[in-house]
Structure 1
Amino acid sequence: MKITASIILLFLISSCDNTTTEKPVKKEMDFTTTTYYLIRHAEKDRTNPDDEDPNLNEEGLLRAEHWAAVFSEIKLDAVYSSNYKRTQQTAQPVARKQNLKIENYDPHKVYETDFFEKTKGKQILVVGHSNTVPVFVNHVLGQERYENIPDSIDGRLYVVTKTADQATSFILNLE
């Protein structure tokens, strides 16, 4: 009985020895969150149907100022816009109030660039078009969730949050 008790005691003492030289390696978690805010350009001037690059109309200029108010409580790291007058004019009040330069992007090639790596961990506003904003969101989500924006809707805000493991989205209608 003494031998069994001694063996158990010796085992307990040796198992409590924590002088190992190697420590377990902890896998580093990536908690980087990127948030994309995506809007379609505001109302464009439709008086000349042949104009492929129209300016915003009065209502659109007011909406652009409204977007600046909406984003006044969100510290953006960058504002991206396609190189059309209507998207630039929609982005301008937000960029001006946040003291940011508007970065141009090609809405048809954004996925071929290092855009996602460049914007990782930041809060980004992207101003696009009825047929490019949903494509962008779907690309980030990795699924076909959203269809093109109807031409009658100008006040929709898509919010997409991306981490290393997942992407989520929701829409706010600010009409």
Structure 2
Amino acid sequence: MKKIFFILSLALVSCFNSNTDKTPEEKAKENLTTFYFIRHAEKAADQGSDPELTEKGKKRAEQWVNYFFLKDLDHVISSDFKRTNATAAPLAKAKNLDIEIYDVRKVTGTSLLETYRGKTVAVYGHSNTINAYANELQSDRVYKDLEETDYDHFFIVRIDKDGNSNAVMESIDFMEYDN
């Protein structure tokens, strides 16, 4: 009986001490929501309103895995289009996550925040949606729709537990391989 009591006491003490072992950065991260708003990769021009990715687009989708290699990620979400799903698929597979589908006609930046508060999320969307989500979640900058040929820019929005936000527009020049 004393042995069981000792083990339970030890377990209880370790539970109480687990949070004190965290660094200030780890504690801050627990209260931080981070969105990566990413446009789908290059799409085929001759396939109607729901085209597949081009070969270049498939390579770009694979390269997002490299960008996120050392980053923690809790969710990968995508609009319900072939091109966004195909862009999100390599990252979801690499991170062992399912692709969660959202409806671009219903989702807002606010609804994303309500659903994913405290998480780090890669959101795959479109040239006229990812900027809108970033704009809604921050107030220090207004981002325009991406140009139809712009596949390099994406947005990172971080929101702390008090609702303070920071948004940046980033650009990645992915390597092109000639095969």
Q: TM-score range by the shorter chain?
A: 0.7 to 0.9
Task: Name the counterpart of 1:153.
Answer: 150
* 8 A Cα contact 1:41 1:154, kept in partner: yes
Q: 1:91 aligns with which of 88, 91, 94?
A: 88
Deviations 1:137-173 (A, max 9, x none): 0111146610000011102121100112411111221
Indicate the residue corresponding to 1:171 in structure 2.
Answer: 169
Instruction: Confirm or deny: 8 A CA contact 2:110 2:137 kept in the other structure.
Output: no
* Structure 2 counterpart of 1:63: 60
Count of aligned pairs: 144
Specify whether residues 113 and 145 from structure 1 end up closer, same or farther in structure 2 by C-alpha distance, changes over 3 A only: closer
Distance in 2 separating the partners of 1:126 and 1:165: 19
Provide the residue aligned with 1:35 in structure 2. Answer: 34
Structure 1: 5+ residue stretches without partners: 1-29
Aligned AA (1:167): S
The match for 1:82 among 73, 76, 79 is: 79
Answering whether residue 106 of structure 2 is matched by residue 109 of structure 1, we say yes
Q: Distance in 1 between matches of 2:113 and 2:68?
A: 21
TM-score by length of 1: 0.77
In structure 2, the residue matched to 1:72 is 69
Q: Say which SS state the counterpart of residue 147 (structure 1) adopts.
A: coil
Contact preservation (8 Å) 2:109, 2:136:
no
Query: Residue 130 of structure 1: which of 116, 127, 132 is its match?
Result: 127
Scaled by the length of structure 2, what TM-score is found?
A: 0.75
Q: CA deviation at 1:118?
A: 2.2
Q: Distance in 2 between matches of 1:113 and 1:75?
A: 22
Query: Which amino acid counterpart does residue 43 of structure 1 have in structure 2?
Result: E
- Give the aligned partner of residue 139 of structure 1: 136
2-structure distance, mates of 1:111, 1:35? 15
Q: Which runs of 5+ in 2 are unaligned?
A: 1-26, 174-179
Q: What's the secondary structure of 2:166's corresponding residue?
A: strand
Q: Secondary structure at the match of 1:110?
A: coil
| 1:16 aligned partner | none
Shift of 1:75: 1.2
Matched AA of 1:174? I
Partner SS, residue 72 of structure 1: coil
Distance in structure 1 (CA, Å) of the matches to 2:43 and 2:147 = 14
Cα distance in structure 1, aligned partners of 2:140 and 2:128: 16
Which is greater in Rg?
1
